[in-house]
Amino acid sequence: MTRFSFSLTATDGRARTGTISTPRGEIRTPAFMPVGTAATVKAMMPESVAATGADILLGNTYHLMLRPGAERVARLGGLHKFMNWQKPILTDSGGFQVMSLAGLRKLTEEGVRFSSHVDGSKHLLTPERSMEIQKLLGSDIVMAFDECPALPATDEEVAKSMRLSMRWAQRSRDAFGDRPGHALFGIQQGGVTRELREESAEKLKEIGFEGYAVGGLAVGEGQEAMFGVLDYAPGMLPQDKPRYLMGVGKPDDIVGAVERGIDMMDCVLPSRSGRTGQAWTRRGQVNIKNARHQDDPRPLDENCTCPACRNYSRAYLHHVYRAGEMISGMLLTWHNLHYYQELMAGLRAAIAEGELARFVAEFHAMRDAGDIEPL
């Protein structure tokens, strides 16, 4: 049986490329994980998500525990079978979304008591329960249960929260147990303070995990502050384990994170934008709602091989968006996920060839040039 493992094949500066092996398949890194919040990547069939080049999906513990319920998913054969996705799945711990979505929260040493945003029902999420839920779902990569303080916060508040998360990381490790082929990732906290990031990294390494996430970023601190932390935080984590930046991001955030040694990322942006008429292309963001597209017979991106670009014009994409047709979200989501995966493939190839600096320069030059001129 394949065990969970990670091997680096090349580095270029701080950037790395490699492969995570799991019993459910390989994940080429740097990897972008589309978000399948409620056991679906919205507007996409799972086989279409795979066709964009995704090796792994992210599922949300908070949403799935509330609806349809982790025990129900387990009775129905686990999340892979339930949603018809046979490749690897990473689940978050629920901690972040409890803090951002649930009502009436009470945080204690034990965990978080909260009421569901769906039906008001009462729940208690602890490190032990989070591990149990992620096991019931059948997740391949399980995230330790942590707390992420809302920003802005004082150093003292960030330190207190980080130390609680480190105690929860130990409890997560203890509760995870011995599960060959599955991985548990620890999450570094500490806000934008170097000393706290160092303390967190040391504690996590002492506990020992199969991978490490840089947590507490992409929460509104801005790209400059995020890159500031990424200039040192990944280097505090073990070289031979995957490093995951949670909740990132826009294409230029992804490129900057990969340059700084990140191996995995996830974000709702490509799928969410696809449902609001926003496309991400090599030439930056395109707003398909804009009237400039209504008579334009050209594809969104003439070099893109996704179905939206191969078979449809900007005029059609504009029309179906304006008409509120479901195919609008389907086509733009497909295009956006395809673009993101193509970006990751380009980054992996550039790192392997030692050409990352040139790739990044071209990436920025194309975006700076902007969208094609209107007809």
DSSP-assigned letters across all residues of 43-111: T--HHHHHHTT-S-EEE-HHHHHHTT-HHHHHHTT-HHHHHT--S-EEE--SHHHHHHH-EEEEE-SS-
Contact 39, 70 (CB under 8 A): no
CB 335, min distance to Zn ion, A: 4
Q: Does residue 263 have a known ligand-binding role? A: no
Site for Zn ion in 58-87 (CB under 5 A): none
Q: Does residue 148 have a known ligand-binding role? A: no
DSSP-assigned letters across all residues of 160-189: HHHHHHHHHHHHHHHHH---TT-EEEEEE-
Question: Toward Zn ion, which CB reaches closer, 265 or 308?
Answer: 308
> Is 314 a binder of Zn ion (CB under 5 A)?
no
Contact 309, 286 (CB under 8 A): no
Which residues have CB under 8 Å from 167's CB, separation 6+?
A: 109
Question: Toward Zn ion, which CB reaches closer, 159 or 304?
Answer: 304
Single residue of 41, 65, 306, 347 touching Zn ion by CB under 5 A: 306
Question: Toward Zn ion, which CB reaches closer, 314 or 335?
Answer: 335
Query: Which residue stretch of 23-31, 307-315, 341-349, 360-368 sits at the interface with Zn ion (rule: CB under 5 A)?
Result: 307-315
Name the active-site residue from 12, 92, 253, 301: 92
Q: Does residue 189 have a known ligand-binding role? A: yes
Name the active-site residue from 140, 266, 301, 371: 266
CB 155, min distance to Zn ion, A: 45
Nearest alpha-carbon partner for 315 in 296, 288, 335, 292: 296
Q: Does residue 341 have a known ligand-binding role? A: no
Which residues have CB under 8 Å from 274's CB, separation 6+?
A: 43, 329, 331, 332, 333, 334, 335, 336, 337
Question: Toward Zn ion, which CB reaches closer, 142 or 286?
Answer: 286
Site for Zn ion in 20-59 (CB under 5 A): none
Phi first, then psi, for residue 308 (nearest 5°) are -65, -40
> Is 304 a binder of Zn ion (CB under 5 A)?
yes
Q: Residue 240 catalytic?
A: no
Query: Which residue stretch of 24-32, 166-174, 296-304, 358-366 sits at the interface with Zn ion (rule: CB under 5 A)?
Result: 296-304
Cα–Cα distance, 273 to 365 (Å, whole number): 23
> Is 335 a binder of Zn ion (CB under 5 A)?
yes
Q: Does residue 216 have a known ligand-binding role? A: yes
CB 303, min distance to Zn ion, A: 9
Contact 30, 344 (CB under 8 A): yes
Query: Which residue stretch of 111-119, 163-171, 244-252, 300-308 sits at the interface with Zn ion (rule: CB under 5 A)?
Result: 300-308
Q: Does residue 93 have a known ligand-binding role? A: yes
Cα–Cα distance, 368 to 225 (Å, whole number): 22
Whether the bond between 68 and the residue before it is cis, its omega within 30 degrees of 0, is yes
Single residue of 66, 175, 201, 309 touching Zn ion by CB under 5 A: 309
Cα–Cα distance, 149 to 165 (Å, whole number): 10
The Cα-based distances of 239 to 48, 199, 234 in angstroms read: 33, 17, 9
Query: Which residue stretch of 13-21, 23-31, 256-264, 297-305 sits at the interface with Zn ion (rule: CB under 5 A)?
Result: 297-305
Q: Residue 92 catalytic?
A: yes
The Cα-based distances of 312 to 295, 299, 335 in angstroms read: 13, 6, 11
Question: Toward Zn ion, which CB reaches closer, 254 or 304?
Answer: 304
Query: Which residue stretch of 75-83, 225-233, 251-259, 332-340 sits at the interface with Zn ion (rule: CB under 5 A)?
Result: 332-340
Cα–Cα distance, 144 to 171 (Å, whole number): 9
Question: Toward Zn ion, which CB reaches closer, 121 or 305?
Answer: 305
Q: Does residue 249 have a known ligand-binding role? A: no
Q: Using CB under 5 A, count the residues that bind Zn ion.
A: 5
Q: Does residue 335 have a known ligand-binding role? A: yes
Cα–Cα distance, 104 to 317 (Å, whole number): 42
Q: Does residue 346 have a known ligand-binding role? A: no
Residue 174 has which token pair?
């203890």
Which residues have CB under 8 Å from 260's CB, separation 6+?
A: 14, 15, 227, 230, 231, 234
Binding residues for Zn(2+): 304, 306, 309, 335
Active site residues: 92, 266
Binding residues: 92-96, 146, 189, 216, 304, 306, 309, 335
Binding residues for substrate: 92-96, 146, 189, 216
Contacts with Zn ion by CB under 5 A lie at: 304, 306, 308-309, 335
